[in-house]
Amino acid sequence: MSFALDITDCFASEIGDSGLEEATFEQYLQKTGEFLETLPSQVGDGKLPFLSLPAKQDDLPEIVEAAAHFRENFDDVIVLGTGGSSLGGRTLSALAPLEYPKICGGPRLRFVDNVDPHSFDLLIAATDWSRTGVIAISKSGSTAETMAQFVVLSNTLRTHVTEDRVSDHVAVITEPKPSPLVSMAENIGCRVLDHDPHVGGRYSALSVTGLLPAAIAGLDITAIRAGAARVFQSVLDGATADFTPALGAAVSVGLERTKGVKTTVLMPYCDRLAEFGLWYGQLWAESLGKSGEGTTPIRAIGTVDQHSQIQLYLDGPADKMYTLILTDTAGQGPNLSDTMANIEGLAYLRGRTIGDLLSVAGRATAETLANNGRPTRILRVPAVDEAAMGALMMHFMLETVIAAHLIGVDPYDQPAVEEGKTLARVYLEAGG
């Protein structure tokens, strides 16, 4: 397994009254087992296609070929999309050192997921469009923000490259059905990659929407899926006794139901996992926040938020659970100069590395939270690589789906989102 889960400090026996009672946990865990028994047949019947993605291979050659085109021909690649069309690719691509092109060896990836006019003016003015590719992603093919972005940038490309070259600069990912995005792609004559109509955006990170940006970043997309497959394999094998997503869901729902936990904080101690909190936030909030149910996800990053949020976590309302993702950084990174460490007050740094500091900071935070009665679980990730990222994504997708079963909501729809979209279109049609 690419990671290990420790939920010890979520229980009353360890942290006191704010922790979950073992008997309550076992009740919820039993309910997860009943649900897990149904998953293999649902996957076999094609009812949960996102769970079939880890084993899928027939789409990889097309993704690899498209990625090679963008890697070989452009210095910059701009990915247009919002929500699930953007966050999966952003999260996976963060494994690569994209801000250091000489190290990364490929184009710079830029994810444009908003429609702030100031940002767009800067983007247009500062970009060498003759050396820039554009990928537009929208499952429906009609997302207002993405359509607006694509109209602007496709027109911008036309002013900087010849008409017969525009199609080489562009690719589109969308459902294989008539839509505004398909019409624009046909007008340009660009490459179109199919988005599976049955895979929702927030569950699509392991599909082309996440894997194409990851491949452009130079990552091993086969390893990403392999890591995800290992998490789900135990369910297919019928071995669910210690299934980590079920443990996580039972703890999360048990704490919410019996201990008043309304907020869940995800805090990785790793810069490459900083984007993971954004991806998780959409997954958890949009899947569970229905009919008065759900808990609010908060994104934090260690050690930075030890200096901004930890005061609230330790001394504020006891209404949160914490998930710390700790990596094996001891002994890694630059050595701290013994000469400088001899300065008064810095002796504790003598002979240490930057990685030592990160490692002990995560450990100390976890212990401090538990000592103060805050339910805390730890995900230990020995190596932050493609397999680990695939495994973490599959873990949290499954944990979310299982939690939805426990609280009785549909994890695949988002009915409340549509009202705002409809109103925005009405206002535009009425002239603002």
Task: Judge whether 421 counts as a catalytic residue.
Answer: yes
Model pLDDT for residues 174-224, shown as the tens digit of each residue? 999 999 999 999 999 999 999 999 999 999 999 999 999 999 999 999 999
Q: CB–CB of 363/326 below 8 Å?
A: yes
Task: Judge whether 405 counts as a catalytic residue.
Answer: no
Q: What is the 3-state secondary structure (H, E, C) of 314-370?
A: HHCCCCEEEEEEEECCCCCCCECCHHHHCCCCCHHHCCCEHHHHHHHHHHHHHHHHH
Axis crossing angle, helix 386-407 with helix 276-288, rounded to the nearest 10: 20
User: Which helix (DSSP H) or strand (DSSP E) does residue 310 occupy?
Assistant: helix 310-315
Model pLDDT for residues 300-342, shown as the tens digit of each residue? 999 999 999 999 999 999 999 999 999 999 999 999 876 666 7
- Count Cβ atoms below 10 Å from residue 111 Cβ, excluding itself: 21
User: In terms of DSSP bridges, do strands 376-381 and 4-6 run parallel, antiparallel, or are they unpaired?
Assistant: antiparallel
pLDDT at 421 over 90: no
pLDDT at 1 over 70: no
Spot the catalytic one: 145, 275, 286, 386.
Answer: 286
Of 286, 281, 294, 263, nearest to 416 by C-alpha is: 286
Higher pLDDT, 81 or 351: 81
- Domain segments of the chain as ranges: 4-37+240-407, 53-224
Predicted structure pTM score = 0.95
Classify residue 40 by its DSSP letter. Answer: H
Query: What's the rounded mean pLDDT across residues 371-396?
Result: 98
Model pLDDT for residues 53-93, shown as the tens digit of each residue? 999 999 999 999 999 999 999 999 999 999 999 999 999 99
Residue 191's identity, in one-letter code, is: R
Cross-strand bridge partners of residue 5: 379
Q: CB–CB of 53/206 below 8 Å?
A: yes
Task: Judge whether 163 counts as a catalytic residue.
Answer: no
Span 53-224: which CATH code? 3.40.50.10490
> For the domain with range 4-37+240-407, which CATH number is right: 3.40.50.10490, 1.10.4160.10, 3.20.20.70, 3.10.20.740?
3.40.50.10490
Query: What's the rounded mean pLDDT across residues 380-391?
Result: 97
* Same fold across 4-37+240-407 and 53-224: yes
User: 222 vs 191, 245, 289, CA distance in Å?
Assistant: 22, 22, 33
Spot the catalytic one: 99, 102, 118, 307.
Answer: 307
